[in-house]
Amino acid sequence: MFSVLNPETNEMVAMKKVADAFDNYVIIALRDVVPPPLREEFSNVYIATELMDTDLRQVIMSDLSLSEEHCQILRGLKYIHSANIIHGDLKPSNLLLKANCDLKICNFGPPRPSFENGFIKERGFSRWYTAPELLLNSSEYTAAADVWSVGCIYMELMNRKPLFPGTSRVDQLRLLTKLLGTPTELDLRLVPNEDVRKCIRRLFEYPRQELSNMFPHVPPLAIDLMDKMLVFDPTRRITVGEALAHPYLAGFHDIADEPVCPRPFSFDFEDSMGEERMKDMIYQEALSLNPGHA
């Protein structure tokens, strides 16, 4: 708040800057969509976003101290989930940071998982943060998958190394069960293939390890939150809203600073809209951002 002179009335008035509503959202900001020279040559989409300084992966690998990234990730995810969107590819390299530690979420995964040879297609190091229901081709693809990813990221923040650095899908499942124990029948009820369910129980027979014993340096409240996020059954996993209200985040949680999307997205149009129509719409959007483009 500051005082300025109104030139029209010659009166001193109080001026307050009202931030753009989107400044509160922990999501990378779109600056431009670059239109192709001609609509007929439209085969790729190039977008420009705000420039950040680094990502969480680089910070974890360094000796830099960490601040409130825990709450910032969940705050952004709360907005994303309220918009009826699943990020689908949360990992440290997709969490960008400014020098002042402001965090932005980027690189959203596809709205639906893609399959390859009957299994959900994996994307590089994303496997380390992929929820077990997706590794097992469960029919359950929900926002709970993002919560699992955040749990893995939180543990990596506190340990400075990945929690489940699997070298393959099978190795990933081995690491999960070695720490969390063999999943029960109830845990696996959403896995459609009975042979897969039997195979998991046969190959990965491990007792559950107490996180507090495995990671004695991690605060008890943080362990309690991780126990609620890293749950095999997605229907019993804590939600983002519940995680934000957890006592571990009490010092950062402020519901007034956790906006939600006023109107959730609907993706029903994807089933009826052809590729060329979608290209037309993206092209027109790019032109609206670049009115001088011929």
- Residue 33 is assigned to a structural domain of this protein: no
- Residue 5 is assigned to a structural domain of this protein: no
- Residue 166 is assigned to a structural domain of this protein: yes
Q: How many structural domains does the chain have?
A: 1
How confident is residue 192, by pLDDT bands cut at 50, 70 and 90?
Answer: confident
Catalytic residue status for 89: yes
Which residues constitute the domain of residue 179? 54-257
The mean predicted confidence, pLDDT, of the chain is: 83
Is a pLDDT exceeding 70 seen at residue 42?
Answer: yes
Is a pLDDT exceeding 60 seen at residue 3?
Answer: no
DSSP for residue 116: E
Pick 271 or 240 by higher pLDDT.
Answer: 240
CA distances for 191 relative to 62, 64, 188, angstroms? 39, 41, 5
The closest of 42, 101, 51, 50 to 73, measured between CA atoms, is 101
In tens, the pLDDT along 242-266 reads 999 999 998 888 888 888 888 888 8
Do 79 and 25 contact (CB within 8 A), yes or no?
Answer: yes
Least confident of 107-116, 134-143, 181-190, 269-278: 107-116
- Residue 237 is assigned to a structural domain of this protein: yes
Pick 15 or 67 by higher pLDDT.
Answer: 67
Given the residues 20, 53, 55, 89, the one annotated as active site? 89
What's the confidence (pLDDT) of residue 17? 38
Query: What DSSP element (H or E) covers 103?
Result: strand 103-105
Q: What is the pTM of this model?
A: 0.84
Residues 6 or more apart whose CB falls under 8 angstroms from that of 3 comprise 12, 13, 14, 15
How confident is residue 58, by pLDDT bands cut at 50, 70 and 90?
Answer: very high
The CATH number of whichever domain residue 59 belongs to comes to 1.10.510.10
- Residue 39 is assigned to a structural domain of this protein: no
Least confident of 19-28, 120-129, 242-251: 19-28
Q: Which two tokens stand for residue 104?
A: 């932005």
Is a pLDDT exceeding 80 seen at residue 87?
Answer: yes
How confident is residue 8, by pLDDT bands cut at 50, 70 and 90?
Answer: low
Least confident of 97-101, 105-109, 147-151, 191-195: 191-195
- Residue 248 is assigned to a structural domain of this protein: yes
- Residue 262 is assigned to a structural domain of this protein: no
CA gap 120, 241 in Å, rounded: 27
Is a pLDDT exceeding 70 seen at residue 69?
Answer: no
CA gap 141, 89 in Å, rounded: 13
- Residue 89 is assigned to a structural domain of this protein: yes
